[in-house]
Chain A
């Protein structure tokens, strides 16, 4: 057996035979399990994954365990004088340090494994419906990170133990170095320096645990932990070797040893800087954490976009959402970095602490708890966190910011009781109109009854937003002419019709001619939120308007249903062929339909006619958009894009899954008691019995 193996066996045997270690392991299990039970309770219904809750419960206690497990490995040798026997043995200091390190690390890994296994066992027992064996795989990234962290903590504990004859002093120093010192530095940077606070997000060690648990594996992070572990072991070896050089005339050797430790630290720092700069991140698909998985659409948009965009998190750090938002944006930034497209810069502005920055944002009209997208010095978009800040929302904004602004006009019909884009009240369309304006659309109105009011050649599309009174025959004729492309050499017109409880007769006839037939339905037959709402979640995968929204919901209020009319099949070939599509449905009922004519024509230069009919105008009214988080806004915007010929699609993020354990209150209490009290006590009693037996037996 190699000297490292011999020292490892001895160290592991020695520390596992101490009462203080048994107590430390039991304390670690109790504290981490209590934190886990608490976090599980707090995280119920939230976005956190089970693995991230476990990792965040274990990570803060792990350094304390390593400090207590490693405190005696050298200090006991120093105190008893056995160090001289070790130093006179034919073994290098490096091998001795490595062996002791492996011993301490092995013990922390055993405790970590028990913590993981006990979490599985108790969850399986108390929440069997929630917990699945397949979800064990989701813990691997978190466990990997904690293994790397515990290696570093063990190495530091071994190094501190080599300095102190007093084990308690070694443990206190280790805890200070591992727990207090980094947190104090982080707090100091994030509270006393404005720049530091704006650049730093979550406490890095917690952020690493959260990222890994969510499947975002940073190779640079692991590399940094490994480098620091090697440095701590190198420092420990130098400290042990230092004991040989106690002569008066050996100042030079002592100085060179001290210098080597300093240089080792500088080199480690440089290596870590390099690693974080060249960080390669792997995104593992982890069960229960859909936040970090990005769709091919997102990657395409991020790679296509260029330049630099700054995203400022305008949120208090104490806010429960802060960690999730930070994690999501870090994931997005890594994704953007890996595509080589747009450069994202993430900043954190605390509304209370960063008064200067906060004032600038507030003066610009930004509400608290928002994500602020900026290009240069200009605030381009603000996303309220409460409205959703997922992949779809953020990437759509990035795309809009990074794409060249195409100016085109949207014509809104007036004169029939339509909802107005200039109305800022709950029944207005100002919100969605602002989105369109940011995309480069100019809003214009047209009164079809007034012959002086013309649909200009700049018209990208015409919107009929919930007409309540009927269109005259003349008006329908004008609309038909627009759709046929008469007077416009570029081809067919584009029409977006939003119904308000029912379609007017004239509009009904027009749509029927183009292949869309409307019918009234009873909302109560469908999944409903308020009794009149219809939750539609079936999106056509083949149509560009609906394709990105698989897994999302559009909430409509008393909508009109559609089906293809007999005219939908008119024209079998060429430019006359109409193509009808159900694009949004609930069950067998379609609530949004699209028709295209001429899309597959021989002459591709001819602009095809496109019509999209959506059964409800209310789904994009200000009141609806402000009150609920759903895909309404993006569905509308995507329909506009399709109609106006901007066929690039927004990203399709996967729906973030929520944590629902299904445990009752008494289950929770039993889970906490079993994992945080009975198990640690039982293990401690067992270990103490074994130790006593071993000591008494010989």
Chain B
């Protein structure tokens, strides 16, 4: 279970996150939405401990991100908006390197990479050099990296950005598969696509959580309309 309590963060001239608190229970796939610049990516980077918050706490099953960051990071996988990979490596080499860096024993790495490549549909690409992949393929590789060791929480920042329709479909299926063993937190603007496999929307406005909309038992279209209403500042 991920617990986020009173997170605040401000850049030099702008207060980005103010008192952000939420809990992600096991099995949940949470989507954080909001207008551009409201702090979605900053929140994801704070959750990934790339940025330290000004205040508040983050815990995964009691493991504190600020007090014991290395143990906390073992429980997360992070995909950033623009997948930055090592172009000179093959997909297999890259995933092997990442698995090793995350501390996975050598004897289990092959199995882990097999699973991740299966879920992310990378089997055909394993021997290819990353510099030769398309943007969508690179995103799938980055996604495979994020879910490689089956972390408790997978953080996917703007995961659907830059993908065409079919690729968004495919990404949705992959994320659904990932959600089977991890909590997934995604950000994005593609509400209609996200609504298909998200269990809850968290709406961020002016650095605060303005709405939390559960999708349980709701039609996709009504979820979209409620989220869009919340984004416009209406009643959620």
Residue ranges of A at the interface with B (Cβ–Cβ < 8 Å): 1, 3, 6-7, 10, 14, 17, 80-82, 84-85, 87-92, 244-250, 253, 694-695, 698
Contacts and interface: CB of A to CB of B under 8 A. Distances in A.
Contact of B11 (A88, A89, A246, A694): A246
Nearest to A247: B54
Contacts of B103: 3, 90-91
B201 interface: no
Contacts of B78: 84-85, 88
A587 B176 CA distance: 100
Nearest to B85: A82
B55 A249 contact: yes
A84 B50 contact: yes
Given A14-B88, A85-B78, A88-B76, A248 B10 contact: yes
B129 A698 contact: yes
Given A3-B103, A248-B15, A253-B52, 4 more contacts: A89-B101, A90-B73, A244-B52, A694-B88
Contact of B101 (A3, A14, A253): A3
Nearest to B17: A247
Interface string B223-236: 00000000000000
Contacts of A7: 101
Given A14-B88, A81-B84, A89 B102 contact: yes
Contact of A247 (B53, B90, B129, B145): B53
B97 interface: yes
Nearest to A80: B84
B50 A244 contact: yes
Contacts of B132: 698
Interface in B160-192: none
B110 interface: no
A10 B45 CA distance: 24
Interface of B: 8-12, 15, 45, 48-55, 70-71, 73-74, 76, 78, 80, 82, 84-86, 88, 90, 97-98, 100-103, 106, 127-129, 132, 145
B54 A244 contact: no
Q: Which 6 A-B pairs have the closest CB atoms?
A: A249-B54, A88-B48, A90-B73, A88-B78, A81-B84, A90-B74
A7 B98 CA distance: 10
A17 B88 contact: yes
Q: Tell me whether chain A's interface is mostly helix, strand or loop, or mixed.
A: helix
B106 A1 contact: yes
A81 B97 contact: no
B51 A247 contact: yes
Contacts of A694: 88
Contacts of A84: 45, 48, 50, 78, 80, 84
Nearest to A7: B101
A6 B100 contact: yes
A590 B163 CA distance: 101
A111 to B, nearest CB: 21
Contacts of A6: 97, 100-101
A11 to B, nearest CB: 11
Given A90-B73, A247-B9, A250-B52, A695 B88 contact: yes
29 contacts: A1-B100, A6-B97, A7-B101, A10-B101, A84-B45, A85-B78, A85-B80, A85-B84, A88-B49, A89-B73, A90-B71, A90-B74, A90-B102, A91-B70, A91-B73, A91-B101, A91-B102, A91-B103, A244-B49, A244-B51, A245-B52, A246-B11, A247-B10, A247-B54, A248-B10, A248-B54, A249-B55, A695-B129, A698-B128
A547 to B, nearest CB: 67
A214 B113 CA distance: 54
Contacts of A10: 86, 97, 101
B80 A92 contact: no
B127 A698 contact: yes
A249 B101 contact: no
A250 B88 CA distance: 36
Nearest to B46: A247
A92 B101 CA distance: 11
Contacts of B76: 88
Residue in A10, A88, A244 with the greatest tally of chain B CB atoms within 10 Å: A88
A698 B52 contact: no
B12 A248 contact: yes
B86 A81 contact: no
Contact of A82 (B52, B55, B86): B86
A246 B14 CA distance: 12
A81 B80 CA distance: 9
A89 B103 CA distance: 10
A352 to B, nearest CB: 55
Nearest to B128: A698
A8 to B, nearest CB: 11
Contacts of A245: 52
Interface centre among B12, B100, B106, B129 (most CB of A within 10 A): B100
A253 B76 CA distance: 25
B51 A246 contact: yes
B73 A88 contact: yes
A698 B54 contact: no
A88 B45 CA distance: 8
Contacts of A698: 90, 127-129, 132
B53 to A, nearest CB: 7
A85 B94 CA distance: 13
A180 to B, nearest CB: 32
Contacts of A253: 52
Q: Which of A7, A17, A248 has the most CB of B within 10 A?
A: A248
A90 B148 CA distance: 13
B155 to A, nearest CB: 8
A250 B100 CA distance: 32
B182 to A, nearest CB: 15
